[in-house]
Amino acid sequence: MSAYQPIIERLLTLHPKRIDLSLDRMWRILGALDHPERKLPPVIHVAGTNGKGSTLAFMRAVLEAAGKSVHVYTSPHLVRFNERFRLGAPGGGSLVSDEALADALLECERANGSEPITVFEIETAAAFLLFSRHPADVVLLEVGLGGRLDATNVIDKPVACAITPVSMDHLEFLGDTIEKIAAEKAAILKRDVPAVIAPQAEAPLNVIERAAAQIRAPLRVCGQHWNVHAERGRLVYQDDDGLLDLPLPKLHGRHQLDNAGTAIATLRASGLAPPLAAFEAGIARAEWPARMQHLSQGTLKQLVPAGSELWLDGGHNAEGGRAIASALGDLEERVSRPLIVVVGMLTTKDSAGFLHNFSGLARRVIAVPIPNQEKSVPAGTLADIARSVGIPADARETLKAALVATAHLGLVPAPRILITGSLYLAGEVLAQNGTPPE
């Protein structure tokens, strides 16, 4: 057992709900810790439904290519809790050690006493504590859920904010309309702090623009103030500051062009914009696990038919499914292969809306339960949902059984296999494959 696990288990007893959005408990514990959130390097704060992690990955890669030290706070983790906390250092940062994380969590636990607090709130306080005590040039801060009452929304004056694409997700916490969800996310905007807005549907964009106008937050909106597209095998970005002609991202999918553009626009808006060479190196180098990640080796790769491709994406909502399907379409244009989708999902997600994106694209769905998740959709139920949207489907009770089953389908050429539907499932894949994030 890791050094921090017993502390987390104790903290879980302090609040009956895993998610309870409020800032009152955060202000209390931060006061008890002498406000580490006021002692941070310059902060870039990022909200949105899809693409937050990839956008942060692009920013980190560009800043590190410029020689900057970058702290990064993201959630959730895939395999190890440490993945949420990356400490910046010259030459590139590293995930926090078990011991340092345990010390920070223990200090937060002592400061909190026996008062009610969620684990996410106390881990966010621990992140601020760690980041305030380790020198760095920038903090990249990802919203956990929503924005208005998210534990990260205690930073008074970030150097920039960004809102990635907003879509329907977490309805039970953020509201049952796209406008309500957009309003929650727009609440990270701050007066006189530049805010970059990724490509948005009209309804959420209208909400964000109204919120920004009310507090006088200057916006840089995709399609109005900046644009990004692929041209002749290059990424072309343009705004009022000029044009950048850059390598295409290493990350797969057209949506990663938008995420890269959002990262570039945010860095330019922040005043931290690095030189051209850093943009060139960072955009080409950025990686983010479980986002159209090609698993070319590992334990699970050995279970699938020889010559097949194995891909992993943690997408779990309808908009994420659209992005994945688009990326698969691009792969199909390059090299045609029959597509098998191995999927596991939670009952809190729109399984039919997600799977509908693969109708006409996937040859077959193999549904699996997500290990150790009470809210996992039973494999048989998920297979029925896949059939209801027009995709032939089977069910298997384990991930390994599902991958072994792909070998019995007799597909020629060898298939392209995608494992998707949940970040919890993605974490299980990386753990079983022996390729956890570093």
Residue-wise pLDDT for 354-392, tens only, equals 999 999 999 999 999 999 999 999 999 999 999 999 999
Mean pLDDT (the chain, rounded): 95
For domain 5-285, the CATH class is alpha beta
Span 94-114, average pLDDT: 96
Which CATH number among 3.30.479.30, 3.90.190.20, 2.40.110.20, 3.10.20.30 corresponds to the domain 293-433?
3.90.190.20
Note whether 370 and 422 are within 8 A (CB): yes
- Show the CA angle centred on residue 80, arms to residues 367 and 267, nearest 5°: 100
Q: Name 156's Cβ contacts closer than 8 Å, sequence gap at least 6.
A: 38, 190
Closest C-alpha among 328, 340, 312 to residue 433: 312
Dihedrals φ, ψ of 344, to 5°?
-135, 140
Q: Provide the CA 406 distance to its chain's centre, in angstroms.
A: 28
Residue-wise pLDDT for 68-82, tens only, equals 999 999 999 999 999
> With bands split at pLDDT 50, 70 and 90, how would you rate the model's confidence at 22?
confident
- pLDDT of 169 reads 72
DSSP type of residue 147: S
- pLDDT of 12 reads 84
- Residue 170, pLDDT > 70, answer no
Closest C-alpha among 56, 130, 43 to residue 289: 56
In the chain, domain spans: 5-285, 293-433
Residue-wise pLDDT for 194-248, tens only, equals 999 999 999 999 999 999 999 999 999 999 999 999 999 999 999 999 999 999 9
